Structure 1
């Protein structure tokens, strides 16, 4: 379901994206090509001067919440995965090719390209450098703690890339089903 916000801004969604009928998208939201938005996701840019941009090839999985506060922006760059039940709260910048794991919270932060925030982690008020891994369950709220983060391993890089590929295939599959239904 798509709604305009109180400022009368409506979502702008690529015709090449697939959005579940149970997802809710409100306001000043831009969604790129080959984006998969799963069931019960909520993407909300309804506060004054807020916006959300989701780049090409991203996936927003089941029960993800993305919200931008007044006068803030959430940017999720291309080929990034937001896994089941995570919360992305603006202001927030997530780089290209990132992964945010199940139940994680990212708020008022920057996550550099090719980084992973693993399951049930919290990242707030810091900058995660490019190519780093925030481990499962870790809470990072002070900048000096990022010095100890490990680099993304080849196994984790392949994992996050496989999630993107799987979800782009879902977009293609669901779009093909839509075409079949329309032709019947």
Structure 2
């Protein structure tokens, strides 16, 4: 009961903050995020500016996706961003993919684990796992790589596909990046299982919270 009024099961569910970027001298045009309807953005998370979120993406609580400086961001199908993840980018610094350039590009089936920081300019290829508290900044990470907990990838390095970054490693030179070994089997299996679990969340959370939400931020019946 709140103030003598019986709460519905949805009364404490808040909307995420989804907004265009503010108008600034360096970003004078507002862009609103483009989020596929099959994806789910959890409560207390924010998505700001020129951000494309493709099919079945799961964004957990307390995630910040802030394309108000570096822009645009791209988040591919079946990618998951876990609790406390931060995405931000430097002004006018981009990576190229095809005929387009991005501040941050995350491919399909990427996992960004709890409290990791991905800061543009940055490219992370399909099926890559970025571990807890890891930092990826100014780097290109090849498909299927595994970045372990507390690792740092920076200084414009390029990591080849299917490479393993050990826990706590600092990969800040191309020499270090080229010396990385391939992803061991147990890490591949772990990344696969994390993907399997997180790919179920968007549809399940849509069912749990329903589609009707008020502009005040509360879900309602």
Per the normalisation by structure 1, the TM-score is: 0.94
**Contact preservation (8 Å) 2:49, 2:67:** yes
Gaps of 5+ in 1: none
Over residues 84-112 of structure 1, what are the superposed CA-to-partner deviations in whole Å (9 max), with x where a residue is unaligned?
A: 00000000000000000000000010000
Q: Which residue of 2 aligns with 1:3?
A: 19
Where has structure 1 moved over 6 Å in runs of 4 or more? 180-183
Q: Which residue of 2 aligns with 1:19?
A: 41
Q: Which residue of 1 aligns with 2:100?
A: none
Q: Which residue of 2 aligns with 1:59?
A: 80
CA–CA separation in structure 1 for the residues paired with 2:86 and 2:134: 11
Give the CA RMSD over aligned residues. 1.6
Residue 111 of structure 1 pairs with residue 132 of structure 2: no
List aligned pairs for 1:1-184, cutoff 5 A: 1-5=17-21, 6=23, 7-47=29-69, 50-71=71-92, 72=94, 73-124=103-154, 125-179=156-210
CA–CA separation in structure 1 for the residues paired with 2:38 and 2:162: 29
Q: Which has the larger radius of gyration?
A: 2
Alpha-carbon shift at residue 32 of structure 1 (Å): 0.8
CA–CA separation in structure 2 for the residues paired with 1:115 and 1:149: 10
CA–CA separation in structure 1 for the residues paired with 2:177 and 2:116: 21
Alpha-carbon shift at residue 170 of structure 1 (Å): 1.5
Aligned residues: 183
CA–CA separation in structure 2 for the residues paired with 1:2 and 1:172: 19
Higher helix fraction (1 or 2): 1
**Contact preservation (8 Å) 2:134, 2:152:** yes
Structure number with the bigger relative contact order (C-alpha 8 A, sep ≥ 6) is 2
Alpha-carbon shift at residue 180 of structure 1 (Å): 8.2
CA–CA separation in structure 1 for the residues paired with 2:150 and 2:57: 23
CA–CA separation in structure 2 for the residues paired with 1:153 and 1:103: 21
